[in-house]
C-alpha cells in the first residue's frame, strides 16, 4: 500500500515537470452549454485544526529526501505546508456524471519557492496513487494537462503561464468524457490561460477528485479556498 502510494505521488512530479512541445487553447467557455449543479463545496471557514472527514491527505517525502509536511485548516483556509514532499488532498465521495468541473483558489507564498499545485479527476480511489486519472495544474511557469497511467504519465497540453509570488489564482478542471479543459485566472491581475486536450485512449472510469502538488528544495505554505465540484445537467 505504501509503495503504491509513493508510485503515483512520484507521477505527480511528472505532471509539473514537463519538457514536451507546448500547445494551448483559448477556450474559456467550459460551461457555456451547461447548467452547473453543485455536487460539493467547501469554503474551509471553520475552526483551526484537522481538514475534516470529507478528505484524506497523503503527504510523502520526495524520493531520497527527508521531507516533512501537513495539511490543516488555518484562518479559514486549507493550508498545505510542505518541504521536499509530494501531496494530495482527496475528496472521499465518488462523483458521478459525464461532465464534471472542479475549482479551487490558491494563494501562493510571497517568498519564491519551488512549488506546484493542481486538481486531479477521475481517479480510481483515494490514497491509491498508482492508478489512472487526469491532472490539470500549474508549476512556476506552465499550465498543463496530464493523464496518469499507473506509474507513467502522458502530457496532453501545456501553455506558458508564470506564477507571481503572493498572488491568488483560481484553477478549474473540466472533464467531459474524453475532453479535458484546464483554466487558470490570476485574481490579482485577471490574466487568464486555458488549455484543452482530447484523450483518444481507453476510458478512465474513476470517480475521485483531489487537490494536489509538490515542493522541492524548500518550504512552501499554500493556502486554498473555495473548493467546488459541479456536475453538468
What is the block-wise mean pLDDT of the chain (233 residues), using blocks of 10 residues?
A: 44 41 37 84 98 92 76 96 88 93 93 81 77 86 88 89 92 94 97 95 86 83 96 93
- Give the global pTM: 0.84
Cα–Cα distance measured from residue 176 to residue 188, given in angstroms and rounded to the nearest whole number: 29
- Give pLDDT, residue 210: 94
- Give pLDDT, residue 129: 60
**117 near 102, Cβ under 8 Å?**
no
Cell of 19: 519538457
Cell of 217: 528544495
- Give pLDDT, residue 128: 65
- Give pLDDT, residue 28: 40
Closest CA to 146 of 157, 138, 131, 159: 157
Max Cα distance, the chain (Å): 48
Closest CA to 179 of 29, 11, 54, 44: 29
Cell of 74: 488555518
Cα–Cα distance measured from residue 38 to residue 73, given in angstroms and rounded to the nearest whole number: 22
Cell of 185: 485566472
- Give pLDDT, residue 83: 86
Closest CA to 103 of 31, 199, 178: 31
Alpha carbon of 71 to those of 66, 81, 87, 123: distances in Å?
17, 6, 9, 20
- Give pLDDT, residue 63: 64
127 φ, ψ to 5°? 85, -25
- Give pLDDT, residue 165: 87
Closest CA to 100 of 54, 40, 24, 26: 40
36 Ramachandran zone, left/alpha/beta (phi>0; psi -120 to 50): beta
- Give pLDDT, residue 106: 96
Buried b (16+ CB within 10 A) or exposed e, 6-22: bbbbbbbbbbbebeeee
Compute the C-alpha angle 217/218/219, nearest 5°: 150
**Can you tell me which residue has the cell 472510469?**
205
Domains defined for the chain, CATH in brackets = 2-232 (2.60.120.560)
- Give pLDDT, residue 229: 97
Amino acid at each position: 500500500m505504501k509503495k503504491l502510494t509513493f508510485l503515483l505521488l512520484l507521477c505527480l512530479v511528472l505532471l509539473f515537470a514537463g519538457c514536451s512541445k507546448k500547445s494551448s487553447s483559448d477556450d474559456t467557455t467550459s460551461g457555456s452549454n451547461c447548467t452547473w449543479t453543485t455536487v460539493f463545496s467547501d469554503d474551509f471557514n471553520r475552526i483551526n485544526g484537522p481538514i475534516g472527514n470529507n478528505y484524506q491527505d497523503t503527504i510523502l517525502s520526495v524520493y531520497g529526501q527527508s521531507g516533512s509536511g501537513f495539511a490543516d485548516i488555518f484562518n479559514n483556509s486549507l493550508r498545505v505546508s510542505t518541504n521536499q514532499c509530494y501531496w494530495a488532498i482527496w475528496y472521499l465521495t465518488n462523483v458521478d456524471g459525464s461532465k464534471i468541473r472542479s475549482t479551487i483558489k490558491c494563494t501562493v507564498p510571497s517568498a519564491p519557492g519551488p512549488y506546484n499545485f493542481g486538481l486531479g479527476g477521475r481517479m480510481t480511489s483515494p490514497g491509491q496513487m498508482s492508478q489512472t486519472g487526469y491532472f490539470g495544474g500549474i508549476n512556476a511557469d506552465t499550465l498543463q494537462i496530464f493523464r496518469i497511467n499507473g506509474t507513467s504519465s502522458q502530457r496532453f497540453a501545456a501553455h506558458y503561464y508564470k506564477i507571481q509570488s503572493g498572488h491568488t489564482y483560481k484553477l478549474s478542471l473540466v472533464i467531459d468524457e474524453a475532453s479535458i479543459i484546464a483554466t487558470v485566472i490570476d485574481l490579482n491581475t485577471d490574466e487568464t490561460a486555458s488549455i484543452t486536450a482530447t484523450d483518444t485512449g481507453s476510458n478512465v472510469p474513476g470517480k475521485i477528485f483531489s487537490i494536489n502538488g509538490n515542493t522541492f528544495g524548500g518550504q512552501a505554505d499554500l493556502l486554498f479556498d473555495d473548493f467546488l465540484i459541479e456536475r453538468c445537467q
